[in-house]
A and B are shown apart, each in its own frame.
Chain A
Amino acid sequence: MTFVLRQITRRVSGAEIVRENVLTTEAPRIGRGADCEIRLPDLAVSLHHATLTEAGSGKVEVTSAGREPFGVDGRFVNHIVVDVAKVPRLVFGDHVLTLSSGEGGRTLVTLTLAEPAEGDLISGVAAGGVIAKARVFGRRRIAWTLGLGIAALCLLWPLAAFYGHLNARIDADQQWSTGPLSTAHAFLEADCQSCHQEAFVAVKDTTCKTCHGGDRTPQAMQASAASVRRAGSTDTLSFVKDHAPRQRILWGAPPPDHFGGQATAWFRRAFNLPEQRCASCHVEHVGNPVAGRAAEPEPTLMPTQTCVQCHAGMSHRLTDTDLVDTPSWVRHPNLRPTLPGPNGPTRVSMNDRPREASGLTFPHRLHLSPGGGPARMAQTLGGRGYGAALTCANCHRPEDKGGGFTAVQMEQDCGTCHSLDFATPGGIRQLPHGEPAKVVAALGGWLGGGGPFAGNPNANRRRPGQIGEGSGPSSSPPVGAASVTAVNGAFGSGGACFDCHTVLRSPTLGIQRVRTPTTFLSRGAFDHSVKEHRLDRRGQPNCAQCHAASTSDKSADLLLPSIATCAECHGQTLARTPAAAPANCETCHSFHAPSHPTPRPPRPEGAPRAALPVRFQTTP
């Protein structure tokens, strides 16, 4: 058998060059060695790799010279007999020998170079000389992945949750929180929409009042308290009222007078952030736990205006207000107690020396004079809380809670000296107090002859302080002479009732209504429970410092002090008085309840009073 080596090479233009070489040997050797008939310049091929020999008609035997195998149609073998008619492919390294039948019984050995797979490198360098780059870390791929990932996780996902398209356990919008809520609102941390109810709309007052509204029915407020407890709140829900209707606050507040304020106002208008909302002053999300700061106990208070800013010149902005302009503590108007007037309760300035019409006839001096009859009587009473001259505390009892006094009750506060006992034939009886008609009836019953109201079922429904209408004692005297004498004695000059009350004779016998208000100040409050307000430096009651009761000779004297008395301590410096106290508006006027002082946390007896932040203080 004759072997013909056929080599095919390609030109740059793509055309093939075919060279044929008839091998002179019967058994051509395949290898890298120079002595091989079929030379393959491939280091993967041995110097003498294999030998081709005839193996019968149309068959060729291929035998490895050494241990290195060769490939035949995808297999690696050391010896094989192949059928030339089947055009077998022998692979040596990168070279392929294809056997086929040629003319004249020759066997064609076609030598080709295996096509390199795309991307195969020589020394790691691609054919074009371009260095292979890492594809995993492509900038665009990372950029798109990160950008779209963040947009999906931080924007679209919470947005879907906000609009209720998701019902996931994870609160996707919590990542939008700019800071932790205060402890009081911490239970709402995972429920952003409890406050942020509308997109792009600032938190509204109605949202806050859903829980905190103080102008609702007690049942509604109790329901709110129960609701927040169920939601996990550990705080006591506070109920507050508006300082004034919001529109009036907006009108009453002055426009900003400096650039910063004007810029803020412009910014708030431009970005739909209305002023004078609950959230304008009570600010949330300002904590910074990363910096190690503990959460605020309640929303941070950031007043947008001081009291003085609005109340200075407010009468020009709110022309219908009855409030007096208060530009500073020094120019605070005098106290204006609310007194009965011809057109109903009226506030009268202490500058106008208002008179009181309590209905009682005795002056305070009568009881407080150390040499007077009441003092002597108290001395003789001895161990029932008396034994010395009378003091204020013998008649006026402070409230259990709060800084005021309870209304004087005759039986309890006066009865020790002013006995209502009445000797009757049947023994000592107790005259009723407060209802003259009952006194008359009782005397009639005890002394015989009944009374003017005997048998009259409506007698008990008359207004107290009046004895019937058109059927008084003058027109219808008691039947029994003894009872008439007793009634005249009680209501007449020197009688038990006459000592204290103004007895009305016309048109009917009656008692002028007694008015014992527990407070005179309707737009502010004086806290009698403050230690400095009730005791002097020696620990003795200091009522007289404000109330000139011991020198009051008339029952109509209104024993309230002037604002100047308050200014003896408030607004003073320690250099001028050891009892110096700050002159803060909220000491007497709470923002949400101007007729009450601002609530303060309780403090132990003797502890210094906690000063409120400077921003609340007004300029004296």
Chain B
Amino acid sequence: MAASEKTGERSTVVQHEGFLRHRGFRWAWRALALCLIAGAGYLLIDVQPRPNGGSVFGYAAGTVAAGLVLWLTLLGLRKRAITSGQWSLKAWVSAHVYLGIAVLVIATLHAGFQFGWNVHTLAYALMVLVVVSGLFGITVYAILPRYLSRNRGETTQKQMLETLKALDRQITEAAQPLSEEQASVVRLSLDESRVGGGLWRRLSGGRGGCGNRKALKRLTGLRRRSTDVQLQMLDRMEGLLQRKAAALSQVRRHLQIRAWLSVWLSVHVPATIALLAALVAHIFSVFIYW
């Protein structure tokens, strides 16, 4: 109702506020406060013989860290649930980021900088992996979208693929009069110009073994042995292949940026599940060998 009452009023200009800046870095300050409290406890409580996870401070910090890890994991469920109210997903993600960084500090103080070849340090190492991969994710989220947008221009991914298909159709048609040798070169472009594929291929831009590029190279050789009529056809074909090369480059760049934007999740999510298992083993083993 409040909205309807305001109808006709001049709307205030709302600037986009990302999850990192949410509400004036509210969760960053809270996470910092948590870290400072943990740090003060670590420095002020003289744990003998040396700081360790088995002291009262160690257990307190460990309990807080384990609770935070469980809550941070819940983002996977929260983002799938459409809710209304104060707990916006943006606030949740903001808290996820900053409290996730705080966990790194609190868990390190919980361990008292004591590490060994055991299940406890495994849990710690997995937590570090999760947090570091998350930090990487934040970094690419902050940097890459502008490159993605710049590369894409006004087109969508679907339009890019449609362009490729259209070019393939045109190339197929234009190649009909060509000789066997020339046609086989054109077929390289049609059959071996892969887009996407494995993780490393996506991350690296996937230009290796590009059929279109091979076809363009060989086309130069074919021109020497061609008649004038064939040369005309080959000129047209080269133009089409050049256009396809540009389209392929755009699609591959698009996919490369998207791969970098999502590859950290391939570490973050499985490492989180592994961390949960290691955390259960860590807590359970401490209490069973009490």
Q: Taking beta carbons and an 8 Å cutoff, which residues of A are in contact with B?
A: 32-34, 41, 43-44, 46-47, 66, 68, 121-125, 129, 131-134, 136-137, 139, 142-151, 154-155, 158-159, 162, 173, 175-180, 192, 196, 199-203, 260, 263-264, 267, 271-273, 283, 286, 288-291, 300, 302, 615
Contacts and interface: CB of A to CB of B under 8 A. Distances in A.
Nearest to A264: B56
A144 B180 contact: no
B118 interface: yes
Interface string B68-101: 0000000000000000000000000000000000
Given A43-B186, A129-B162, A175-B118, A146 B273 contact: yes
A290 B184 CA distance: 62
A326 to B, nearest CB: 24
Contacts of B278: 150, 154
Contacts of B48: 302, 615
Contacts of A122: 165, 168, 190
14 contacts: A34-B177, A123-B248, A125-B161, A131-B255, A132-B197, A134-B197, A137-B199, A142-B270, A143-B270, A150-B122, A151-B281, A267-B59, A290-B115, A291-B113
Given A47-B179, A123-B165, A155 B198 contact: no
A146 B288 contact: no
A129 B162 CA distance: 8
Nearest to A49: B180
B196 A131 contact: yes
B79 to A, nearest CB: 14
A521 to B, nearest CB: 32
Contact of B56 (A150, A158, A196, A263): A263
Interface string B145-174: 000000000000110011011001000110
Nearest to B206: A124
A150 B269 contact: no
A283 B273 contact: no
A333 to B, nearest CB: 30
A43 B183 contact: yes
B274 A300 contact: no
Nearest to A148: B277
Contact of B49 (A47, A196, A271, A302): A302
A155 B280 contact: yes
A176 B119 contact: yes
Interface string B226-248: 00000000000000000000001
A143 B119 contact: no
Given A43-B190, A158-B285, A136 B198 contact: yes
B118 A123 contact: no
Nearest to B59: A267
Interface size on B, as a range, is 35 or more
B195 A123 contact: yes
Interface in B114-159: 114-120, 122, 157-158
A160 B157 CA distance: 53
Contacts of B45: 260
B274 A200 contact: no
A452 B196 CA distance: 123
Contacts of A131: 157, 161, 195-196, 255
B187 interface: yes
A154 B277 contact: yes
B290 A273 contact: yes
Contact of A199 (B183, B193, B288): B288
B116 A147 contact: no
Contacts of A615: 48
Contacts of B29: none
A567 B212 CA distance: 98
Contacts of A267: 56, 59
Nearest to A152: B277
Nearest to A157: B281
Contacts of B277: 146-151, 154-155
A115 B118 CA distance: 57
Contacts of B178: 43
Contacts of B193: 123-124
A203 B285 CA distance: 14
Contact of B168 (A123, A148, A177): A123
Given A125-B195, A150-B122, A155 B281 contact: yes
Contacts of A150: 122, 274, 277-278, 281
A179 B49 CA distance: 13
B180 A286 contact: no
Interface string B44-73: 010011101110100100000000000000
A155 B114 contact: no
Contacts, number: 183
Instruction: With a 10 A CB-CB cut-off, give which of A43, A68, A145 has the most chain B CB atoms.
Output: A43
B25 interface: no
Contacts of A124: 193-197
Given A201-B290, A286-B49, A291 B194 contact: no
A149 B114 CA distance: 25
Contacts of B180: 46-47, 66, 68
B54 A178 contact: yes
Contact of A177 (B50, B118, B270, B272): B118
Instruction: With a 10 A CB-CB cut-off, give which of A34, A46, A143, A202 has the most chain B CB atoms.
Output: A143
Contacts of A288: 50, 114-116
A154 B54 contact: no
Nearest to B113: A291
B107 interface: no
For the complex of A and B, 6 pairs with smallest distance between CB atoms = A124-B194, A146-B274, A176-B285, A131-B196, A142-B270, A143-B273
A43 B233 CA distance: 15
A178 to B, nearest CB: 6
A200 B290 contact: yes
B176 interface: yes
A173 B193 CA distance: 53
A139 B270 contact: yes
Nearest to A44: B187
A286 B290 contact: no
A286 B52 contact: yes
Interface string B275-287: 0111011001111
Contacts of B117: 175, 290
Contacts of B162: 129
A286 B50 contact: yes
A46 B183 CA distance: 8
B265 interface: yes
B175 interface: yes
A289 B195 contact: no
A154 B277 CA distance: 9
A615 B276 CA distance: 40
Contacts of B183: 32, 43-44, 46
B257 to A, nearest CB: 13
A173 B265 CA distance: 32
Interface string B104-118: 000000000111111
A291 B197 contact: no
Nearest to B248: A123
B7 interface: no
A286 B255 CA distance: 50
A176 B289 contact: yes
Given A143-B274, A178-B54, A290-B115, A154 B122 contact: yes
Given A68-B180, A200-B287, A615-B48, A176 B276 contact: no
B103 interface: no
A133 B290 CA distance: 47
A154 B194 contact: no
Given A123-B193, A180-B116, A288-B115, A129 B161 contact: yes
Contacts of B187: 43-44
Contacts of A155: 277, 280-281, 284-285
